[in-house]
Amino acid sequence: MDVIFHKSKKYISEDIDYYMSEQRDMHSMIKPDNNLISMTMDSDCLTSPSKDRCSNVLYPFEINSVAKIYIGLSFPLFSNNWGTSFLRHLLKIIKKDGAIILPVYAEGQAYEKGYWSRSFLENIFRSRSLFKGMSNIWAENDGVMSMRIGRVFPKKHNSTFNYFIENFGQKIWDKDNSEKLKEIKETFNTSILSALVEKVILDEFGSKKKISYCDFGEQAEIPFEVANSNYINVKELNFFSKTNTNFSKLNSYFSYRSNKTFKTKFISDFKCEDLSNTDVISIINNSNNLELIKKLKLYDIQKPIIYFGTINEVKEFESKFNFIQYSNFAACKLNSNGTIINHYSDIIQDEIQNELLNTEKRIILMRPL
């Protein structure tokens, strides 16, 4: 069985065409055949993959059961701990002589967008000693690399994806469909939003500055993913929530895997002094993010706020903040000057270029004036 992962059905044709090109397969090693099975991250179908239906990407494959897994251009796989953990998980699924085939970007473009480049993959996954053994990473051709079973299995990175797989991966398939889909949606939501928040923090503070990070939210997965990132230097996470939703479980999971400090407090007990040592605040996953800013009077606090919502929602604060909007498709800033943000997918590149024209929710950095 060979499968290919897509963001949604509308990208299937373009994703497959990318790998069918002779430019991508000079050595006749990766070109898919006509039996390639498509799977999407937004599918409600939770049955085993087949040509007749488009199943969800997180279907629980047996270990050593898939020959090739293609990552479509549309599939939002960022070069962070979540993405690393996802690829490591796929290495367990492929057969001994199988491969994971994925798009890679030039170094500068990859860094700008938070995508994978050849060096990013090699730094994390390469396992090869001189003149012997097999590497996990193979360079295939322009814009494509493959991952295979090497001499040494890659080490585990701290990520909520590992927590999901180890605690829910198989168990969720015993639940009813609505519960399964809820868990899957939240997992992918964490993967995308955490990557964007990481990039905002990286752009603002760099990779070395130690920062204290605070999140106001209804789910703890996103702030835990950000706090455990290898690409920024979060020393402390403070999580404020209406309930202690899954914070305790995540804290127990990461406490002996990480040297970070994780703290929580109920929003009802919040005081402005709690943010005295905070460097950056995020308000991402609440039923009403704008209402929360107003209720807590966070607009009076001179700290950068990473907000998830529409630009129209925060217009009333423009006398106190500058607004920098980030793309929902690439971990980079949206520019109003018409600068083109290149993407291998023509469909997604057009969507990025039109983002500032629509009113969809996105990550907005609110930087105090």
Residue 154 lies in a domain: no
Q: With 70 as the cut, is the pLDDT of residue 87 above it?
A: yes
Asked if residue 185 and residue 103 are part of one domain, the reply reads no
Mean pLDDT taken over the chain: 90
Asked if residue 262 and residue 353 are part of one domain, the reply reads yes
Query: Residue 38 has what pLDDT?
Result: 97
Asked if residue 308 and residue 165 are part of one domain, the reply reads yes
Q: With 80 as the cut, is the pLDDT of residue 140 above it?
A: no
Asked if residue 186 and residue 102 are part of one domain, the reply reads no
Amino acid at 173: W
Asked if residue 142 and residue 165 are part of one domain, the reply reads no
Asked if residue 172 and residue 103 are part of one domain, the reply reads no
Query: Residue 179 has what pLDDT?
Result: 76
Distances (CA, A) of 194 to 138, 142, 156: 28, 29, 18
Specify the CATH number for the domain of residue 355. 3.40.50.150
* pLDDT per residue as tens digits for the range 329-339: 999 999 877 67
Half-sphere exposure of 31 (CA within 13 A, CB side): 10
Closest CA to 237 of 227, 225, 222: 227
Amino acid at 136: N
Query: Residue 203 has what pLDDT?
Result: 96
Q: With 70 as the cut, is the pLDDT of residue 120 above it?
A: yes
Residue 152 lies in a domain: no
Average pLDDT for residues 247-264, to the nearest whole number?
A: 92
> What token pair was written down for 93?
């699924």
> What token pair was written down for 237?
């996470």
Alpha helices in the chain, H assignment, sequence order: 12-20, 81-93, 107-113, 118-125, 160-167, 177-205, 221-227, 247-255, 289-296, 346-353
* pLDDT per residue as tens digits for the range 57-76: 999 899 999 999 999 999 99
Give the residue numbers spanning the domain of 141: 2-147
Highest average pLDDT, of 36-40, 106-110, 351-355, comes from 36-40
Residue 246 lies in a domain: yes
Distances (CA, A) of 313 to 163, 178, 288, 364, 367: 34, 31, 11, 11, 15
Instruction: Indicate the residue among 123, 147, 171 that finishes a domain.
Output: 147
In 22-31, which positions are buried (b, 16+ CB within 10 angstroms) versus exposed (e)? eebbeeeebe
Asked if residue 44 and residue 177 are part of one domain, the reply reads no
Strand-by-strand arrangement of the 233-241 sheet = 261-266, 233-241, 210-216, 280-283, 305-309, 362-368, 321-325
Specify the CATH number for the domain of residue 104. 3.40.50
Query: Residue 131 has what pLDDT?
Result: 47
Residue 165 lies in a domain: yes
Residue 35 lies in a domain: yes
Q: How many domains does the chain have?
A: 2
Asked if residue 166 and residue 136 are part of one domain, the reply reads no
> What token pair was written down for 184?
């899957």
Asked if residue 131 and residue 188 are part of one domain, the reply reads no
Residue 155 lies in a domain: no
Instruction: Indicate the residue among 125, 147, 169 that finishes a domain.
Output: 147
Query: Residue 169 has what pLDDT?
Result: 61
Query: Residue 174 has what pLDDT?
Result: 60
Closest CA to 100 of 82, 84, 112: 84
Percent of the chain exceeding pLDDT 70 equals 92
Burial class (CB in 10 A: 0-12, 13-18, 19+), 290: middle
Asked if residue 317 and residue 363 are part of one domain, the reply reads yes
Asked if residue 168 and residue 86 are part of one domain, the reply reads no
Asked if residue 35 and residue 98 are part of one domain, the reply reads yes
